[in-house]
Amino acid sequence: MNVLFIGDSITEWGRHEDAEGIGSGYVRLIHDYYKTSHPIQNFKVINQGVGGDRIVDLEARWEHDVIHINPDIVSISIGINDVWRQLDSEDQDQVYPEEFEKIYFKLLKSLKEKTKAKIVLMEPTIIEEKLEAEGNQKLKAYIDIIHKLADQFEATLVPTHQSFLTCLKAKNNYKLTTDGVHMNSAGNMLMAVTWINHVKI
């Protein structure tokens, strides 16, 4: 069974420095969990995360990095940079919700038509560890789109954003990121546990 993870730097996290190409983030934790707790014959994790990616970047490499590989499960985590670039790179061409939905729909349609892969859609996590942060407010529209697409394509939804909000609401002041976006070990664990709790392999 081949499980392919695709997304941005949160997914990529160290895969180029890792001999197995899996990295040291949430993808590694999911891999190690199944390798040790639920031994599955011929179980393989493929990490196709690329730092800085937005939905338009996934579109550009979709055929080569996903369709061509023809995995059994495709897990997609995208949306953080589509919002973050609106905050830190205002001069850049932006991907607003309407375009985000249009491209995401196209990618999922292609996946359905060309493969038999089970689809897993992860909510984008957070932008700043503050509930009221502008980035987290802007993320809501993108998360709503992901929920809509999960219904349309009968995909498994992983409520990663909600898991992070729950932790933030607890106000225990335990950090989940290194900079408000990129995960520390606790953030990676939260992502992995949320994924494992919602995806059936």
Over residues 35-62, the pLDDT tens digits come to 998 877 789 999 999 999 999 999 999 9
Longest dimension (CA), the chain: 49
CA pair distance 150, 25, nearest whole angstrom? 24
pLDDT digit string (tens) for 80-127?
999 999 998 988 899 999 999 999 999 999 999 999 999 999 999 999
CA pair distance 127, 134, nearest whole angstrom? 8
Name the percent of the chain lying above pLDDT 70.
100
Tally of domains within the chain: 1
Confidence of residue 199 (pLDDT cuts 50, 70, 90): very high
Confidence of residue 171 (pLDDT cuts 50, 70, 90): confident
Q: Which single residue is written with the structure tokens 């997304």? A: 7
User: Domain span at residue 127?
Assistant: 2-198
What is the CB-side half-sphere exposure of residue 173 using CA atoms within 13 A?
0
Does the pTM of the predicted model rise above 0.85?
yes
CA-based radius of gyration for the chain: 16
Active site residues: 9, 179, 182
CA pair distance 31, 172, nearest whole angstrom? 29
CATH number at residue 168: 3.40.50.1110
Alpha helices in the chain (DSSP H): 9-12, 26-37, 55-62, 80-88, 97-114, 134-152, 160-170, 185-198
pLDDT score at 33: 95
